[in-house]
Amino acid sequence: MHTFFVTISGENINLAKAEIDSLIGLAETDAKVTWLGQLAYIESTYDLTHFLLDRAAMTKEAGVVIGQGPLSDTSMEWLSDDVLMTCVKPTETFSVRTKSLAAGRRVEQRERLSVLLGARIRNLTNARVSLDKPDVKVLVIMTADRTLVCISNESRLRQELRLREPGRRPFFHPSMMNSQLARVICNLAGVRSKATVLDPFCGSGGILCEAATLGAKVLGWDLSWRLLMGARKNLTESLDRETSVIQADSRWPPLQAKQVDCITTDPPYGRTSSTRGAKAIKLVLTFLESIPEIVREEGRLCICGSHEMRIKEMMQDLGFAIKYHILVPVHRGLTREVTAAQF
Ligand SMILES: C[S@@+](CC[C@H](N)C(=O)[O-])C[C@H]1O[C@@H](n2cnc3c(N)ncnc32)[C@H](O)[C@@H]1O
């Protein structure tokens, strides 16, 4: 059994937790997750640390728990020397950080633990301390009742997503979804490599670009020729894979059979996207009604609407099994709503 941890960002905790939950489901493992605020303590047959770091947009760091003991026992005798020597090699540099999850920051106890553990690792391994760019990051987490010693890895994906923001794409339009939310939507829709992913309101391809980065085959429809040309530019720059982005009205799906594994979409809302006179809610409802014709068995859908569209209720009325429903406040006048379902 592997024991590891994940810390999520605080921007939208419910969304970040749903992302982890969905990815663990995708990994098809028997993982047991215990949430302690923004930290997930996970026990599982497989070590999912690197899978979660590679996939989860809202995960900040993750790593293996190499030892744990009672909070009151600061000697850390429960932490094995052999394990420490396996984790830190003599030629490597390391750092020790501490983090307290309980109220009252226990500053003195944290400082003491970090000094003692740092000295112990140095004596055991001869490795050097580096606070700037350590090869190995040791993280001591103090929960309400336990001390966990972990080897931590920071997310590189978060930096990569910043480089893929709409403004940095070859084609930009203000309606384009930001890369972090686009990645979360792909994760809630359970996008896997080689899956066929459809965005029936694809615009300039914000969500499809993330799906393609995950190795999916992407299909996009939109009414706007200009945005479709933009989507093609954005997709060809970021990958070299099978894509089909065509001018189509989502109310009349140009698909013959159940060919789609996942639907990820962001239907028109607000002033930046045109509906050519149609009511956005009607467009969404008509498209939702056609889903059974185009999605394969056990396919998934994740849709990001605006709160007043009440997409969850529409989906429930159509008998869809809702898996996640999370509000995403954007500004005072706009709350978005992410809803995911499984068929
Ligand atoms: C919110 S934008 C999608 C933005 C997209 N997620 C992106 O990242 O670029 C909604 C899109 O729906 C398109 N649209 C509006 N009515 C449509 C319809 N009946 N069928 C297909 N697309 C439609 C608009 O042209 C617009 O590009």
pLDDT at residue 320 tops 90: yes
Tell which atom from ligand 1 comes closest to the C-alpha of 270.
Answer: 1
Burial of residue 300, with CB atoms counted within 10 A of its CB: 0-12 exposed, 13-18 middle, 19 or more buried: buried
Lowest-confidence pick of 155-169, 212-226, 275-289, 317-331: 275-289
pLDDT at residue 333 tops 90: no
Question: Cα(268)–Cα(249) distance, rounded to whole angstroms?
Answer: 13
Whether 57 contacts 158, CB under 8 Å: yes
Model pLDDT, residue 74: 80
Model pLDDT, residue 72: 82
Helices (H) and strands (E) in the chain, counts: 10, 15
Please say whether the dihedral angle defined by the alpha carbons of residues 220, 192, 242 and 57, taken in this order, is positive or negative: positive
For residues 3-25, give the mean pLDDT.
97
Question: Cα(298)–Cα(261) distance, rounded to whole angstroms?
Answer: 8
Please say whether the dihedral angle defined by the alpha carbons of residues 22, 26, 30 and 31, taken in this order, is positive or negative: negative
Count of all residues that appear for the chain in the document: 343
Model pLDDT, residue 257: 86
pLDDT at residue 237 tops 70: no
Phi and psi at residue 198, in whole multiples of 5°?
Answer: -110, 135
pLDDT at residue 271 tops 80: no
Whether 100 contacts 106, CB under 8 Å: yes
Whether 149 contacts 138, CB under 8 Å: yes
222: part of which helix (H) or strand (E)? strand 217-222
For the segment 84-124, what is each residue's pLDDT rounded down to a tens digit?
Answer: 999 999 999 999 999 998 766 678 888 889 999 999 999 99
Q: What residue segments make up the domains of the chain, in order of their start? A: 2-157, 164-342
Distance from residue 223's CA to the centre of ligand 1 (Å): 7
For a ligand 1 pocket test, name from 223, 264, 282, 283 the mutation site with the most ligand atoms within 8 angstroms of its C-beta: 223
- The CATH code belonging to domain 2-157 is 3.30.2130.30
Residues with CB under 6 A from ligand 1: 175-177, 200-207, 221-224, 227, 249-251, 266-268, 273-275, 283
Model pLDDT, residue 128: 96
Residue type, 162: R
For a ligand 1 pocket test, name from 199, 202, 213 the mutation site with the most ligand atoms within 8 angstroms of its C-beta: 202
- Percent of the chain with pLDDT strictly greater than 70: 97
Please say whether the dihedral angle defined by the alpha carbons of residues 207, 213, 219 and 224, taken in this order, is positive or negative: positive
| CATH class for the domain made up of 164-342 | alpha beta
pLDDT at residue 150 tops 70: yes
Distance from residue 184's CA to the centre of ligand 1 (Å): 19
Please say whether the dihedral angle defined by the alpha carbons of residues 230, 232, 236 and 239, taken in this order, is positive or negative: positive
Question: Cα(2)–Cα(10) distance, rounded to whole angstroms?
Answer: 26
Model pLDDT, residue 272: 60
Residue whose CA lies nearest to ligand 1 atom number 27: 203
For a ligand 1 pocket test, name from 181, 222, 238, 338 the mutation site with the most ligand atoms within 8 angstroms of its C-beta: 222
pLDDT at residue 79 tops 80: yes
Band (pLDDT 50/70/90 cuts) for residue 270 is low
For residues 6-13, give the mean pLDDT.
96
pTM more than 0.75: yes
Model pLDDT, residue 71: 86
Measure Cα distances from 69 to 65, 75, 121, 148, 330 in Å.
Answer: 11, 10, 18, 7, 42
Question: Cα(260)–Cα(258) distance, rounded to whole angstroms?
Answer: 6
Distance from residue 201's CA to the centre of ligand 1 (Å): 4
Whether 15 contacts 338, CB under 8 Å: yes
For residues 123-129, give the mean pLDDT.
96
For the segment 36-78, what is each residue's pLDDT rounded down to a tens digit?
Answer: 999 999 999 999 999 999 999 999 999 999 999 998 888 899 9
Position of tokens 């479709």?
228
Model pLDDT, residue 302: 98
pLDDT at residue 273 tops 80: no
For the segment 168-217, what is each residue's pLDDT rounded down to a tens digit?
Answer: 999 999 999 999 999 999 999 999 999 999 999 999 999 999 999 999 99
Whether 65 contacts 3, CB under 8 Å: yes
